[in-house]
Chains A and B, each alone.
Chain A
Amino acid sequence: MSDIPEDDKPSRRDFLYITTGTFGAVGAAAMVWPLVDQMNPDSSVKALSSIEVDISEVPEGGFLKVAWRGKPVYIRRRTTEEIIRAESEDKEDLPDPQNDADRVKKKEWLVVVGVCTHLGCIPIADRGDYDGWFCPCHGSHYDISGRIRKGPAPTNLEIPPYEFASDTVIKIG
């Protein structure tokens, strides 16, 4: 009978079971991560992260569509009239309120990622009820500032990180 307290105490064998199990579990988890992480964007994909675009040829009211990270970016040279319209619509009831001034670095140039914020289709320029962009997939309408005005998309067209390298060159990314 005096053996019972002895049995209740963790034995050397219990310790070995637990440490072996723990080492095994941690080892397996450490092995799983490379198997999952290999699916994330690789170095060659990440290396293509910035481009420079010459915008000297774009006429007033015209636009350029360039590929950045496999997605199109619209660089639009807006007319004075379009700028005034975009700013005057700041006060309207917008689904994703944002002032036009906060979406541009120079009023004349609007740079937006041409990917619909709904499900990733490419909106067509100069279409739709607001003369900005129209997404053919599920009918989202964007205005001349790339703001969502009507349709299922939840947010405005994304502004990529960019800067004016000179008066005629934009660096995106």
Chain B
Amino acid sequence: MNNDYEYVPKNSFTRWLDTRLPILRFTNEHILQFPTPKNLNYFWTFGFILTFFLITQIITGVILAMHYAPNSLLAFDSIEHIMRDVNYGWLIRYAHSNGSSMFFLAVYIHMFRGLYYGSYKEPREVLWILGCIIYFLMIVTAFMGYVLPWGQMSYWAATVIINLVGTLPIIGDSLTQLLLGGFAVDNPTLNRFFSLHYLIPFIIFGLVLLHIWSLHVPGNNNPTGVSVQGKQDTVAFHPYYTVKDFFAYVVFLLLFCYFIFYNPNALGHPDNYIEADPMLTPAHIVPEWYLLPFYAILRAVPDKLFGVLLMFGSIVVLFFLPWLDTMKVRSARYRPFYKMFFFIFVLDCLLLGYLGAQVPEGVYLLLSRVSTFYYFAFFILIMPALSRLERPNPMPIGISNPALEQNARLD
């Protein structure tokens, strides 16, 4: 962005290094001095929080893999071995399992932030799409990780989800066998899930670097949605946002610690402490909380293939947001109608989450259908319609200019 500052190596070693590997120059430009809008609120701290949770998950995961046995005969016992015998094994496992929940909580706040302030709009389309890919890979990783303890929920979640793939026409059956490595979920399935569960987080890490790269080309969006116009609108990332982000991170850690130390199984399901039994399905199968809305969408539809397509469609539609919402005004602050529909959408997602945990009968089924309809209507009908019809409120011309003063000039 603006190049008012210049990195100047201070001693002979950094001067020597700067002409060979300008890593300090890069750090200085992209982390320490990076010009960041001065009006970011706490919703902008979640990117930083997410980076730390990715690192937490990788570290705890690598450690768990030192003690875990990816074999259908040993997996369940090796988890109990980690919990009972391995020094601090309980801590590391609870940090990993609750860490995934915190990761998803943070990513949902991060995504709703983007949705509210229009962070997906031009020129940040690629940034948004990279984020959607990361989110999709997070779901895949979380699902595979959930299978590894080889409990009843692990086993049946794997069965149900892989069967979803089998509904696809023509390639469905052969693709299912390819994923399973057999005729049902068994040791080959567990082995490959473990391998991929270990691999994908590193792919996510690479994508996060691309995500940040594409963020650093246009710079951050901000609560007004008005582009940065000059030096008066920005502050250096360090110390202003390193401190703010760290503070938010520590507050978020309190919630994480509450779950690890006081309620480690609150977000899990007791059936997963029963070893997998291929001959017996638990009475009530539910996914982890962060996937419940998608499960509700799947079950809202009576037709098998259509239900699966809608479920995948609910994620695919996110990729097209920049072209569904073509309103030039980014922030919902100045879009009264969009703001209203946005908050209904948030409630709708929470309702879908609740419905995903209920038995799909009677009023629950009806509600699932209504809220599934709204989920898609918000993106496919409401967004394009508002882009054409909505008249935004008067807005400031620049981040540093007070709104009222500018209204007169707009007219």
Contact = CB atoms under 8 A, between A and B. Distances in A.
A and B form one complex: yes
Interface of A: 36, 39-42, 45, 65, 67, 69-72, 118-122, 124, 135-139, 152-154
Contact of A120 (B160, B177, B182): B160
A121 B279 contact: no
Nearest to A116: B281
A67 B279 contact: yes
B361 interface: yes
Interface of B: 156, 159-160, 162-164, 166, 177-186, 188, 192, 278-285, 299, 302-304, 307, 359-361
Contacts of B163: 118-120
Interface majority SS on A: helix, strand, loop or mixed? loop
Contact of A41 (B162, B183, B278, B361): B183
A65 B162 CA distance: 23
Contacts of B307: 152
Nearest to A65: B279
Contacts of B284: 136
Contacts of A40: 177-178, 181
B183 A122 contact: no
Contacts of A39: 178-179, 181, 188, 192
A139 B361 contact: yes
A139 B177 contact: no
A70 B302 CA distance: 28
Contacts of B280: 122
**Nearest 7 pairs of A and B residues by beta carbon:** A70-B184, A69-B183, A120-B163, A119-B163, A122-B281, A121-B281, A45-B182
Contacts of A70: 182-186, 278
Contacts of A121: 156, 159-160, 281, 285
Nearest to A151: B302
A118 B162 CA distance: 12
Determine which residue in A69, A70, A135 has the highest number of CB atoms from chain B within 10 A of its CB, and name it: A70
A119 B160 contact: yes
Nearest to B179: A39
Given A120-B160, A120-B162, A152-B307, A136 B281 contact: yes
Contacts of A69: 182-184
Contacts of A41: 177, 180-183, 188
Nearest to B279: A72
Contacts of B278: 67, 70-72
A119 to B, nearest CB: 4
20 contacts: A39-B192, A41-B180, A41-B182, A41-B183, A42-B188, A45-B181, A65-B279, A67-B278, A70-B278, A119-B160, A119-B164, A119-B304, A120-B162, A121-B156, A135-B281, A136-B281, A136-B284, A137-B156, A137-B160, A152-B302
Given A119-B160, A121-B160, A137 B285 contact: yes
Contacts of A139: 359-361
Contacts of B304: 118-119, 152-154
Given A39-B181, A67-B279, 18 more contacts: A36-B178, A39-B179, A40-B181, A45-B182, A69-B183, A70-B182, A70-B186, A70-B278, A120-B162, A121-B160, A135-B281, A136-B282, A138-B299, A139-B360, A139-B361, A152-B303, A154-B303, A154-B304
B313 to A, nearest CB: 18
Nearest to B178: A39
A97 B163 CA distance: 23
Nearest to A114: B279
A139 B361 CA distance: 9
A124 B179 CA distance: 26
B171 to A, nearest CB: 13
Nearest to A154: B304
Given A45-B182, A67-B278, A121-B159, A136 B192 contact: no
Nearest to B305: A154
B188 A45 contact: yes
Determine which residue in B160, B164, B179, B284 has the highest number of CB atoms from chain A within 10 A of its CB, and name it: B160
Contacts of A152: 299, 302-304, 307
Contacts of A67: 278-279
A106 to B, nearest CB: 25
A70 B278 CA distance: 7
A36 B171 CA distance: 15
Contacts of A42: 181, 188
Contacts of B180: 41
A102 B302 CA distance: 27
Nearest to B183: A69
A72 B292 CA distance: 28
